[in-house]
Amino acid sequence: MAIKLHCFGESGNAYKAALTLELAGINWSPVYVDFFGGAARSDGYRDLNIMAEAPILVQGDFSLSQSGAIQQWVVDQTGNWAGSLRTNTKCCAGYFLTTIKCPPKLA
């Protein structure tokens, strides 16, 4: 069954999810969301995602929102770009240590 990605072209987050699906060679198709026209606030769309956000990946009864979660799902499904636990841990630690400012007493 083909995966559907509910998305719109102006969204960088939708682009990240779409690019990841495409580069992984996953069979998927876009479903245009008229986000700026209010389509994401419709009852039908909110049934997919109560937060009214895009992108949303849908495969049968399974749905997933948030581009980072979709990217992780692609990694889990394909094994592509997984890296090693050591590399992933270093990347995450480095990101948090350089972006989160500790109060002076904790630093």
- Identify the CATH number of the domain in which residue 60 sits: 3.40.30.10
Given this model, what pLDDT does residue 28 score?
A: 95
Asked if the structure places residue 107 within a domain, the reply is: no
The average confidence (pLDDT) of the chain is 80
Given this model, what pLDDT does residue 74 score?
A: 93
Asked if the structure places residue 99 within a domain, the reply is: no
Asked if the structure places residue 87 within a domain, the reply is: no
Asked if the structure places residue 23 within a domain, the reply is: yes
Q: How many Å separate Cα 102 from the centre of its chain?
A: 28
Asked if the structure places residue 18 within a domain, the reply is: yes
Asked if the structure places residue 103 within a domain, the reply is: no
Contacts of 58 (CB under 8 A, 6+ apart): 3, 4, 5, 6, 31, 48
Instruction: Give me the number of domains the chain comprises.
Output: 1
Task: Quote the domain boundaries for residue 56.
Answer: 3-82
Given this model, what pLDDT does residue 107 score?
A: 45
Asked if the structure places residue 60 within a domain, the reply is: yes
Asked if the structure places residue 92 within a domain, the reply is: no
Given this model, what pLDDT does residue 106 score?
A: 47
Q: In the chain, which stretches have pLDDT less than 50? A: 102, 106-107
Given this model, what pLDDT does residue 5 score?
A: 95
Residue 18's alpha-carbon distances to 1, 10, 79, 80, 85, in angstroms, are: 17, 12, 17, 15, 25
Q: Beta partners for 3?
A: 28
